[in-house]
């Protein structure tokens, strides 16, 4: 263990904060996490993480990372009731992208990395927090508001906090402060007022909104464990995921052109009928709602480019959503927080000289390809030129890949690995892969599609309306 200093402070006990604290505990004698909420001793939603009411998919790469950082945790999740898909039986997943169902016959060559641990966000966070709080050198200070970092001569030396129960203000001294306070992080504002200049931001505009509803469905009513339907740009999409305790999360996404997200379960059902196969809908209709429908329109992406600042303070690192928040429809935020925790570990292994700058640059190398893929998927066409050759070619290749994936399990496996952030998107452009797509298209020119609960005539009508409305939503990838 290479000890860098005596005390590190992590701001925020969300996913990024917990993962960062675990990493810092390898390098600092003590680690303190400061959190404004009272943290429940069981899996429960809490005010500081309002997004916990929504579907929270953990991608394959994120699952790998938490397994690496917390040996035995994945087994604990399984034992506690997470719905585990070992990746060896694609028949338990229903995936339709555009017209193509990605449920080809056969078995994955390497199912291990694609194992999915399906559970609610409060469940995941609780189990992670339980493991973090078992560390001898990590303490969690709850019900403390973080006011601002303390700066001395260009170095952050601690943080000012207020006890929410007593109103007492105090300063926690630290050799390193890690900001993991999420999307609402105030650090960019703090740095600007402290003379470091404005933090440049990259943004991807929002793609509409979606609604999530937690459901209780009696066991055995739905044989699939997960259903995902992305009809492409400008059309509604759906996701249904089995969670712990016979609960399921249904999410329905609507682009703005389709009238905004459904307002209640009845409206969600109305959309779901047109998206999900009849046998799955039969189970959904037997569901009992748990709590109210949650609606989110916050689908923009924001990347605060600390890596581009001419000067950043020493002793401060910003990660998780505070650094880059992704369109939640892609389900990448927790996984990218986990990836950044590993990046921080690599940077700390090389010592603490110029740590912040090295971290932002290294993190940017991991964020950039995911950001670029999201931008390509999310961004509305901004000029006629974009409808030109390159765009049409990309669209053609993507459709060919999906058509191939509906018949060739090796193609599906490659796409699932990229989607799960196990592999880089560049792997979808490798010549051998493109050749495989071409062969599969020649052998299987017509995809098979299971009937949805809605009659086909209604489906075509909706698809036609969506096309006329000028597409904007979730073009080609899963969310």
Binding stretches for ligand FAD (CB under 6 A): 12-17, 34-37, 48-49, 51, 54-57, 145-146, 180-182, 184, 296, 298, 320-322, 328, 331-335, 337
Work out the widest C-alpha separation in the chain, in whole angstroms.
71
- Smallest distance from ligand FAD to CB 389, Å: 35
- Smallest distance from ligand FAD to CB 145, Å: 5
Of 229, 163, 122, nearest to 453 by C-alpha is 229
- 5-11 sheet: strands from edge to edge: 138-141, 28-34, 5-11, 176-179, 316-318
- Smallest distance from ligand FAD to CB 444, Å: 32
- Smallest distance from ligand FAD to CB 381, Å: 26
| Closer of 36 and 475 to ligand FAD (Cβ) | 36
- Smallest distance from ligand FAD to CB 68, Å: 17
- Smallest distance from ligand FAD to CB 59, Å: 7
| Closer of 374 and 452 to ligand FAD (Cβ) | 374
| Other Cβ atoms closer than 10 A to 332 | 29
Angle between helices 409-419 and 431-443 (to 10 degrees): 130
| Closer of 211 and 233 to ligand FAD (Cβ) | 211
C-alpha pair distances (Å), 450 with each of 10, 98, 279, 476:
49, 13, 10, 20
- Smallest distance from ligand FAD to CB 470, Å: 25
With a CB cutoff of 8 Å and minimum separation 6, the contacts of 425 are: 369, 372, 373, 418
Of 341, 245, 339, nearest to 42 by C-alpha is 245
- Cβ distance 145 to 162 under 8 Å? yes
What is the number of alpha carbons within 13 Å of residue 296 lying toward its C-beta? 21
| Closer of 57 and 60 to ligand FAD (Cβ) | 57
| Closer of 187 and 452 to ligand FAD (Cβ) | 187
**Buried/exposed 356-369: b ≥16 CB within 10 Å, e otherwise:** bbbbbebbbebbee
- Smallest distance from ligand FAD to CB 334, Å: 3
| Closer of 185 and 406 to ligand FAD (Cβ) | 185
Which residues partner with 238 through β-bridges? 229, 252
Of 335, 339, 358, nearest to 348 by C-alpha is 358
| Closer of 151 and 322 to ligand FAD (Cβ) | 322
| Closer of 332 and 377 to ligand FAD (Cβ) | 332
**Which pair of tokens denotes residue 239?**
């996701």
| Closer of 34 and 312 to ligand FAD (Cβ) | 34
Strands (E), 297-361: 301-304, 316-318, 324-325
- Smallest distance from ligand FAD to CB 474, Å: 13
- Cβ distance 182 to 304 under 8 Å? no
C-alpha pair distances (Å), 452 with each of 115, 264, 273, 278, 431:
27, 21, 7, 5, 35
């Amino acid at each position: 263990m290479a000890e860098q200093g005596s005390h590190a402070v992590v701001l925020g006990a969300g996913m990024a904060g917990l993962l960062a604290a675990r990493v810092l505990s390898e390098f600092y004698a003590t680690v303190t996490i400061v959190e404004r909420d009272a943290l429940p001793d069981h899996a429960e939603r809490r005010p500081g993480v309002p997004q916990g009411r929504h579907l929270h998919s953990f991608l394959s790469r994120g699952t790998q990372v938490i397994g690496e950082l917390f040996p035995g945790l994945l087994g604990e999740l399984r034992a506690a009731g997470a719905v585990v898909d070992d990746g060896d039986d694609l028949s338990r997943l229903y995936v339709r992208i555009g017209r193509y169902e990605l449920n080809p016959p056969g078995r994955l060559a390497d199912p291990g990395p694609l194992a999915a641990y399906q559970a609610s966000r409060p469940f995941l966070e609780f189990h992670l927090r339980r493991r973090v709080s078992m560390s001898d050198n990590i303490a969690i200070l709850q019900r403390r508001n973080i006011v601002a970092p303390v700066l001395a001569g260009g170095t952050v030396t601690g943080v000012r906090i207020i006890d929410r129960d007593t109103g007492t203000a105090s300063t926690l001294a630290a050799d390193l402060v890690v900001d993991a306070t999420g999307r609402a992080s105030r650090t960019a504002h703090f740095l600007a007022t402290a003379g470091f200049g404005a933090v440049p931001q990259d943004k991807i505009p929002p793609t509409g909104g979606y609604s999530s509803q937690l459901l209780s469905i009696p066991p055995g009513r739905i044989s699939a464990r997960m259903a995902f339907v992305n009809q492409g740009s400008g059309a509604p999409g759906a996701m249904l995921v089995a969670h712990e305790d016979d609960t399921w999360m249904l999410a329905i996404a609507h682009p703005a052109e389709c009238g905004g997200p459904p307002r209640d379960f009845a409206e969600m059902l109305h959309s779901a009928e047109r998206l999900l196969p009849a046998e799955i809908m039969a189970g959904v209709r037997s569901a009992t709602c748990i709590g109210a429908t949650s609606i989110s329109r916050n689908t923009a992406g924001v990347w605060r480019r600390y890596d581009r600042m001419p000067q950043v303070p020493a002793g401060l690192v910003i990660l998780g959503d505070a650094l880059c928040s992704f369109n939640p429809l892609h389900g990448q935020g927790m996984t990218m927080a986990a990836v950044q925790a590993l990046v921080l570990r690599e940077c700390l292994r090389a010592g603490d000289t110029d740590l912040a700058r090295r971290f932002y640059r290294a993190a940017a190398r991991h964020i950039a390809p995911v950001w670029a893929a999201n931008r390509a998927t999310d961004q509305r066409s901004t000029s006629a030129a974009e409808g030109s050759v390159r765009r049409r070619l990309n669209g053609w290749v993507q459709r060919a890949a999906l058509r191939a994936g509906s018949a060739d399990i090796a193609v599906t496996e490659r796409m699932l690995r990229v989607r799960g952030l196990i592999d880089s998107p560049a792997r979808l452009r490798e010549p051998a892969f493109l050749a495989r797509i071409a062969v599969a298209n020649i052998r299987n020119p017509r995809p098979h599609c299971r009937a949805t609960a809605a009659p086909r005539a209604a489906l075509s009508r909706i698809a036609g309306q969506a096309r006329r409305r000028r597409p904007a939503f979730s073009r080609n990838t899963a969310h």
